[in-house]
Structure 1
Amino acid sequence: MSMEESLLSSKSEQLRSLKTEVWVESKKIWRVAMPSIISRVSSFGTLVVTQSFIGHVSSLDLAGYALVQTLIVRFINGILLGMSSATETLCGQAYGAKQYHMMGIYLQRSWLIDLITLTILLPILIFAAPIFKMLGQDPSVSDSAGYISLWFIPFTYGIIFSLTIQMYLQAQQKNAIIAWLSVLQFVVHILLSWLFTNILGLGVAGAMVALSISSWLVVLGEFVYIFCGWCPNTWKGLSIAAVKDLIPVMKLSISSGVMVCLELWYYAILVLVAGYMKNAEIAIAAFSVCLNITGWIVNLFVGLMGAACVRVANELGRGDAKAVKFSIKVVMGTGVVIGVLLWVLCLCFGNKLGHLFSDDEEVVELVGDLSVLLANTVLLGSIFPLLSGVAVGTGLQTKVAVINFICFYVLGLPIGIVLGYVVHLQVKGIWGGLLVGVGCQTSLLSFLIWRTNWENEVSKASERLDKWNLRSPNGSN
């Protein structure tokens, strides 16, 4: 064999090896991502179903439900989601380091921290009616919202367990059970809602009871899965060790909470800003349609975000910096390919997207005008959640929180207000500010990940795990 043929054979062998490695890594990523996507879509669907049944009871109660669900529940859910993401970091790294017994302790610590957090936030649900009246909402709608918000209390307490257990299970790639439970929840929720509202005639109370029962059905299923022996290595029972090192974990949880909330609240503020424009009803409707489209797409990339977090955390805990970098390349490549496909679809069908949500031609026309900005936001939205997932898996939540604050509130929001009101671009100006904020965030996160020394991060993860490691019940470390 000549030297040239030998060289070609070597390159061909390397290419086959690379394809095999990418395929293996992709399977690991989608094994975590797909159940997470199914779970989030199903959970979102239960809220939509509840809204639909309440809408057939009373338009007044529909408005009250919308206020509570889009403002208060989203606000609380954002905080709990952020606080719980510390569980992703710690459980993922502990699993990679084979400190399996610590994962159950980290899970219990997250329960304690989230229960304390939600209890502090509980007055927002209890006093929703006077809060909405103080904000200038219609008194009758506010009273309806105050009644409905009380029914959301058991639902929000269920969120604590469903969020944290999902992160605990996906860290060990056992979250397929979550997907099955979420689909079961969705089906049961439809049946219970129909039974309680249409057959028994319980109205709003029936719809909210159905929501609570179906959401806790998932939690009970998760408890059975964990407590009855399907996680023998990572669950050793309830332990007093959960209160040890609670303060350091709480600091990481707070950093995670701030990171996520700064991002989630930004979109709510933009809708509020749009409400002060000329022809505000059309502006809010069109803006909300675009945000709903991005919201459905975000469910896909949040699933991939969880996979990015798990893979990075696992490899950091395992001490393999090279594998961390390879995993990042594969998950980012996957996200970009999907993002480009969605970007093309938004550009091709942008003028028709509005018809999916509204029959008002003004709203449809404005959505069409925003389609190019929407497409570019979707493209960037396929990148920054994955970068955030890498950061969470690494434990860089504090740095990401600073980046989110600068990009969204120092740059994006002021630019959007100036373009919308001063330059008179209206909703296009607000969305332009959103695009600037997301673009800056994506650029800074990319720079942060690119400049990260992964060998150092491996050392930091090892030091953190060794510091917080406790003896397992069998006496070993």
Structure 2
Amino acid sequence: METPLLNGEVKEDYAPVRSWKETKSMFWTETVKMWKIAAPIAFNILCQYGTNSITSIFVGHLGDIQLSSVTISLSVIGTFSFGFMLGMGSALETLCGQAFGAGQVHMLGVYMQRSWIVLWVSCIILLPVYIFATPILKLLGQEDEIADLAGQFTLLVIPQLFSLAINFPTQKFLQAQSRVSVIAWIGFVALTIHIVLLYLFVYVFDWGTTGAAIAFDITAWEITIAQVIYVMGWCKEGWHGFSWSAFNDIWAFVRLSIASAVMSCLEIWYMMSIIILTGHLDNAVIAVGSLSICMNLNGWEAMLFIGINAAISVRVSNELGLGRPRAAKYSVYVTVFQSLLIGFFFMVVILITKDYFAVFFTSSKDLQIAVAKLAFLLGITMVLNSVQPVISGVAIGGGWQALVAYINLGSYYVFGLPLGYLLGYEAKLGVKGLWSGMICGTALQTLLLLIVLYRTNWSKEVEQTTARMRKWGGQAIDSGNNEDSI
């Protein structure tokens, strides 16, 4: 079990960094703290991503129609609901992280239960999307045969949707306390069991896509139940049983959750929309195929940065809760710098292997050539996507979800998407034009968020955290010694 950060921290803030030696010391300290949280979370998310991928692999051996149907269900309907639920659950990162840093550990269980209630209602709101998946997919231009089977599969994975209502808040509860090793182990064991279940249900019992859906549901609830058992059995500081306090101020909690959901959904749905737009281009088979290969690789990199996103959210919220503005500021700078280096590394790898990496996905020479032509855009996307999730994590840790939601709306949907449409369709640049325009939207969003970071007064963020803890039932922290400019 991880030792909670609160037990190992002192409340004195970092001293100002004025020399190269002090910079190296601070950089190393923050690097260790960040990766102790990020590595297990990223591993767990990779296991979850692997659950989807392996499900598609098993189903792919049943036939092309089955593969396309399940992939569409998981990537369109599944991504839609995942983005919304993850965003609704992200409000808990702000509150739990800041409460834990402030020493109000007893409030974490109440916040988690409040989030369970909000997310359970959210699942009911999302149910029509699952029930009417077939007509929705047909409306988006999918072939009838694929849409019908995808709709059947989507109906069967409704239990997995409701597992997210418990899973996400419980995960955020554990992350806020840096109890992340257990999350990684649960994810790994669940992935292993999922492979066994898929083999039994799909091949041995010959249940086809129905068996794959059942295995998907069982694995999702297995992860959820394991996390809840751990919380109730081994998290006595934050869990004190069920409480009616979970229903207090629930509307204010809903508003913060909605702001988080809008922020996350605008990001997740943005890249999903390019697949839909590409499907209406000339020679759509090559266009969609080449883009799908690039998005698959980009998805694996994104899983790593979702882990870093969660880690920086925990670091910022904990430090603000502790009343340490300079530590919060330095943790952000170190994480952004390291993430940018990782993004450039992936870009270099992609550019070096641009003529070869598509071989792992397809034997079609035309498709391999198309992918190679998109490699430069993939490399730029990887660099931008290395910084953007980190800043979003800072926003969650600091409680800036509403501000970032407005920035995302303007950058992505007012600027990036229309520009991509103009370049792709009107300028006849095809998938390159679509992607280039959307990259411009991401670049604008990243620039605006960097400006927000640069202008942030971290001492005022501590004051706002104090006010938030009063509002949500915690006690004020002493920030009297943190008025110095940082």
TM-score of the two chains, using structure 1 as the length reference: 0.93
Q: Which residue in the other structure is 1:475 paired with?
A: none
Q: CA deviation at 1:17?
A: 4.1
Residues 139, 422 of structure 1: alpha-carbon distance in 2 compared, 3 angstrom cutoff: closer
Paired residue for 1:438? 442
Q: Does 1:423 align with 2:427?
A: yes
> Higher mean Cα deviation, 162-171 or 58-67?
58-67
- The aligned counterpart of 1:413 is 417
1:53 and 1:346 map into 2 onto residues whose CA distance is 28
CA contact (8 A) 2:106 2:238 kept: yes
- Cα distance in 2 for partners of 1:38, 1:97 equals 28
Q: Please show how residues 202-241 of structure 1 align to structure 2 within 5 Å.
A: 202-228=207-233, 230-241=234-245
Q: Partner of 2:156 in structure 1? A: 151
Deviation at 1:455, TM superposition (A): 1.0
Per the alignment, residue 21 of structure 1 pairs with: 26
The corresponding residue for 1:333 is: 337
Segments of 4+ in structure 1 off by > 6 A?
A: none
Q: Please give the alpha-carbon distance, in whole angstroms, between the structure 2 residues aligned to 1:383 and 1:146.
A: 36
1:58-108 deviation line (CA, Å, top 9, x unaligned): 433322212211111111111001111101111110011010011111111
The equivalent of 1:387 in structure 2 is: 391
How do 1:74-473 residues align onto structure 2 when only pairs under 5 Å count?
74-228=79-233, 230-469=234-473
In the TM superposition, residue 20 of structure 1 has moved relative to its aligned partner by 2.9
Partners of 1:269 and 1:430 in 2: CA distance: 10
Moved more, 107-116 or 340-349: 340-349
Contact 2:157-2:214 at 8 Å conserved across structures: no
2:60 corresponds to which of 46, 55, 58:
55
Contact persistence 1:391–1:449 (CA under 8 A): no
Secondary structure (helix, strand or coil) at the match of 2:355 reads helix
Q: Tell me, in whole angstroms, the C-alpha distance in 1 between the residues paired with 2:356 and 2:87.
A: 35
**Amino acid in the other structure paired with 1:390:** V
2:50 maps to a residue whose letter is G
- The secondary structure found in structure 2 opposite 1:233 is coil
CA distance in 2, matches of 1:123, 1:422: 35
Q: CA deviation at 1:51?
A: 1.6
- The answer to whether the Cα contact below 8 Å between 1:419 and 1:433 also exists between their aligned partners in 2 is yes
Give the deviation of 1:49 after TM superposition.
1.5
More off after superposition, 240-249 vs 342-351: 342-351
Listed one character per residue, the Cα deviations across residues 173-232 of structure 1 (whole Å, up to 9, x for unaligned) are 00110100100011101111111222222222222211211221111111111111x111
**TM-fit CA distance, 1:127:** 2.4
Q: Which runs of 5+ in 1 are unaligned?
A: 1-11, 472-477
* Greater Cα shift, 435-444 or 208-217: 208-217
| Alpha-carbon distance in 2 for matches of 1:448, 1:260 | 18
Equivalents in 2 of 1:144, 1:399: separation in Å?
Answer: 40
Kindly indicate whether residue 87 of structure 2 is the aligned counterpart of residue 70 of structure 1.
Answer: no
Backbone CA RMSD of aligned residues? 1.7
CA distance in 2, matches of 1:395, 1:361: 48
Equivalent residue of 1:173, what SS? coil
CA distance in 1, matches of 2:201, 2:213: 9
Cα distance, 1:407–1:13 mapped onto 2, change above 3 Å: closer
Q: TM-score, normalised by structure 2?
A: 0.91
CA distance in 2, matches of 1:374, 1:141: 28
Name which of structure 1's ranges 462-471 and 329-338 shifts more when overlaid on structure 2. Answer: 462-471
- Say which one has the larger Rg: 1
Equivalent position of 1:474 in the other structure: none
User: What per-residue deviation string (whole Å, max 9, x for no partner) do you get for residues 4-57 of structure 1?
Assistant: xxxxxxxx9954444333222211111110111111111111111212222223
- CA shift, 1:140, in A, is 2.9
CA displacement 1:219-250 (0-9 Å, x = unmatched): 1111111111x111111111100010111111
Pair 128,423 (structure 1): closer, same or farther in 2 beyond 3 Å: closer
Question: Which of the pair is proportionally richer in helix?
Answer: 1
Secondary structure of the residue aligned to 1:382 is helix
Amino acid at match of 1:371: A
Output the CA distance in 1 between the equivalents of 2:63 and 2:285: 21
Structure 1 residue 135 displacement after superposition: 4.3
Distance 1:163 1:13 in 2: 41
Distance 1:367 1:142 in 2: 27
Equivalent pair of 2:140/2:276 in contact (CA under 8 Å) = no
- Aligned mates of 1:335, 1:140 — CA distance in 2: 43
Specify the code of the residue in structure 2 equivalent to 1:441: Q
